[in-house]
Chain A
Amino acid sequence: MISNIEKKELTLGFMPLTDSAPVVVAYEMGFFAKWGLTVTLSKQNSWASLRDKLHTGVIDAAQMLAPMPIASNLGLYGERSTVITPLILSRNGNGITISSSLYNKILAQHQVTQLPMPFEANILKHEIAQRALINEKLTFAVVFPYSCHYYQLTDWLKRSDIAVSEINLLIVPPSNMVPSLQSGDLDGFCVGGPWNAKAVREAVGVTGVTSADLLQDIPEKVLGLMASWQQQYPNTTNALICALYEACQWLESIPNRFEAARLLTRAKYLDTPIDVIAPSLLGSCLTFNNHPPRLVPSYNQFSDLNNTDFNAPESHYGEKIADMMLNNGHINPEQRAQLDIATIYRKDLFQHK
């Protein structure tokens, strides 16, 4: 137990995604309570609002995209805010899905009946060239610019020597992704669960590659806190880390993963059927309607029983993410140079009992 907890009641913001599992599990399985905390989970509708509420203290802590604390520290949103992370909550969890109509078109172009998975961005080249002739581009979407989704999508393209400028890349709200794929406004997207599985279940998309196939093991979601909040409530921070760490460990068991999927279906969390939420948690990547799923054991990763530092926010992860931000033109070399990652990715604060 942790004594002298300064602030026992706190509000934790999260986005309704499959990898919010650690937050939901810590609450539902009583880990917050066990560590002396009374936590209110606050579901958010956009990363921008989650960020602003954290910056302004409307919420005490938040599950954030791994690049977000770095973006806050650089003031990429307009004002600098010293957001830190003392804990990695998950890795991987994202997938790239293309529309069924684009998939069928590619099959016809290559005169094949199916594509080997995970598929490379190479498969898009013919269509990109065709559209270039009529001054059009394929349109892809992600949910937030400073996100691993963005960097995974551009990495996937780059591996096939496709520049991001060769496609249209939009930010679209998660709930609009599948309808836009169906309407043809989007040709593909890179998002987290449950949206890839939802596109496959509704037969409007084909998930051909997951983040576990690409930038393996980059932190995906982290616990975000204001540096000043941590200084004011060091013991509360420790208790929060311990409770969430325990939830991450609990999620190592596959039977527990299914129980987590059940919890996430509830209206106050994802409000989505279990056949859409459970697969990625169980290491199954749905590919195409009526096709067998692909085994991707680390599709969602929350912990590693053989590596107690799995959840430690080592600064080299932050450095890697900052490099991706630089390489994608999200920050310039001066901004990259001024970053002191060890003050943002706070491994020194990571502990578990």
Chain B
Amino acid sequence: MFLFSLLFPVLTKLKKNTLTLSSVTKQAAHTKLKVLLAEKNQAKATVLMNVLSNDHYDIFHIAHSGMPLLKDVEQLDPDIIIIDIESPDRDMLENLNQISQFAPKPIVVFSEHQNPSTTINQLVKSGVSAYVIGEVSHQRVRSIIDVAIARFAVFQDLKQELAATKQKLSSQKNIEKAKLWLMENKQLSETQAYHFIRKTAMDNSQKMDDVARNILSVASIL
């Protein structure tokens, strides 16, 4: 019995590294959805790949864990990731958006545990977005993945709003810090320091935040 539940996680960008796929089932064509299956256990992976395999997906099986898996994800840039509910990599794959600005991806979590039907009802009530119980058909897997991607897009909008607020706060802080440094080290008044940052930004077609960061970066070396 497979139970698929949908979560809304995200991936990061790391430096490009050589991709080593332990085993790759690739079905050509770029219009297909790129599905990354992260599963250390080969037997489990084979079962899932059989269920998933159809004309709509390019499936990449990755047996890595931890940072090597992260590099594979970065290299492969999948449309969706499928992972076992018992994998220790879940926290990594679901949470990288918290601290990284790079394009997030939806994740489908699968579980092969025999859950009693009451639990399934609770899963639905608690708002887990997509799930399948019983024998998983190709058709059902496809609809889960479609729903996962659609829901993910909605959730992502909310995340971006928060990220924008965060960015604004952090750039204000940088500007304040740079102003302070200029005031203390270049004997400028607060207004002069602000104008200096603004003028430098305008002269170099940069954002004030960028100028502030440069000042702070230089200051940290001096």
A145: Cβ under 8 A from any B Cβ: yes
The complex places the Cα of A59 from the Cα of B90 at a distance, in Å, of: 18
The complex places the Cα of A327 from the Cα of B109 at a distance, in Å, of: 31
B166: Cβ under 8 A from any A Cβ: yes
B122/A56 in contact, CB under 8 A: yes
B53: Cβ under 8 A from any A Cβ: no
A170/B99 in contact, CB under 8 A: yes
Residue of A55, A132, A145, A173 touching B98 (CB-CB under 8 A): A145
The complex places the Cα of A47 from the Cα of B7 at a distance, in Å, of: 13
| B128 / chain A contacts, CB cutoff of 8 Å | 52, 55-56, 79
Of B54-62, B80-88, B135-143, the stretch lying at the interface with chain A is B80-88
Q: How far is the CB of B113 from chain A (nearest CB, A)?
A: 8
Chain B, residue nearest A54 (CB): B126
Chain B, residue nearest A165 (CB): B170
A169: Cβ under 8 A from any B Cβ: yes
| A78 / chain B contacts, CB cutoff of 8 Å | 7-8, 127, 129, 155
B95/A52 in contact, CB under 8 A: no
The complex places the Cα of A57 from the Cα of B166 at a distance, in Å, of: 34
Q: How many residues of B contact A (CB 8 A)?
A: 43
The complex places the Cα of A292 from the Cα of B221 at a distance, in Å, of: 33
A172/B66 in contact, CB under 8 A: yes
**Tally of A-B Cβ pairs under 8 angstroms:** 118
Residue of A125, A163, A332 touching B162 (CB-CB under 8 A): A332
Chain A, residue nearest B222 (CB): A129
B215: Cβ under 8 A from any A Cβ: no
A128: Cβ under 8 A from any B Cβ: yes
B12/A48 in contact, CB under 8 A: no
A176/B67 in contact, CB under 8 A: yes
The complex places the Cα of A164 from the Cα of B21 at a distance, in Å, of: 33
| B7 / chain A contacts, CB cutoff of 8 Å | 48, 52, 77-78
Q: Are A132 and B217 also in contact (CB < 8 A) when A79-B127, A176-B65 are?
A: yes
B92/A171 in contact, CB under 8 A: yes
A352: Cβ under 8 A from any B Cβ: no
B92/A172 in contact, CB under 8 A: yes
* Chain B 130-172 interface residues, beta-carbon cutoff 8 Å to A: 155, 162, 165-166, 169-170
The complex places the Cα of A329 from the Cα of B163 at a distance, in Å, of: 8
Which of A125, A143, A171, A172: most chain B Cβ within 10 A? A171
| A173 / chain B contacts, CB cutoff of 8 Å | 65-66, 88-89, 91-92
Q: Which residues of A contact B (CB under 8 A)?
A: 45-49, 52, 55-58, 77-81, 125, 128-129, 132, 143-145, 163-165, 169-176, 179-180, 183, 185-186, 329-332
A57-B122, A79-B128, A165-B170 are known; give 10 further A-B pairs, CB within 8 A.
A46-B88, A46-B90, A49-B85, A56-B126, A129-B220, A170-B96, A173-B88, A175-B66, A331-B162, A332-B166
B115: Cβ under 8 A from any A Cβ: yes
Q: How far is the CB of B115 from chain A (nearest CB, A)?
A: 7
A46/B66 in contact, CB under 8 A: no
A169/B99 in contact, CB under 8 A: yes
| A48 / chain B contacts, CB cutoff of 8 Å | 7, 90-91, 94-95
The complex places the Cα of A163 from the Cα of B219 at a distance, in Å, of: 14
| B95 / chain A contacts, CB cutoff of 8 Å | 48, 144-145, 171
Q: How far is the CB of B74 from chain A (nearest CB, A)?
A: 11
B87/A45 in contact, CB under 8 A: yes
Q: Are A46 and B91 also in contact (CB < 8 A) when A128-B220, A173-B66 are?
A: yes
| B115 / chain A contacts, CB cutoff of 8 Å | 58
| B88 / chain A contacts, CB cutoff of 8 Å | 45-46, 173-176
A-B contact pairs, 13 of them (CB 8 A): A45-B87, A45-B88, A46-B91, A48-B94, A77-B8, A125-B220, A165-B170, A170-B12, A170-B99, A171-B92, A171-B95, A171-B99, A176-B92
Q: Are A58 and B86 also in contact (CB < 8 A) when A48-B7, A172-B67, A172-B92 are?
A: no
| A185 / chain B contacts, CB cutoff of 8 Å | 67
The complex places the Cα of A180 from the Cα of B126 at a distance, in Å, of: 36
B126/A186 in contact, CB under 8 A: no
| A52 / chain B contacts, CB cutoff of 8 Å | 5, 7, 85, 109, 128
B23: Cβ under 8 A from any A Cβ: no
| A56 / chain B contacts, CB cutoff of 8 Å | 119, 122-123, 126, 128
The complex places the Cα of A176 from the Cα of B66 at a distance, in Å, of: 5
Chain A, residue nearest B85 (CB): A49
The complex places the Cα of A80 from the Cα of B196 at a distance, in Å, of: 46
B70: Cβ under 8 A from any A Cβ: yes
Q: Are A180 and B67 also in contact (CB < 8 A) when A45-B87, A173-B88 are?
A: yes
Q: How far is the CB of B5 from chain A (nearest CB, A)?
A: 7
| A46 / chain B contacts, CB cutoff of 8 Å | 87-91
| A79 / chain B contacts, CB cutoff of 8 Å | 126-129
| B89 / chain A contacts, CB cutoff of 8 Å | 46, 173
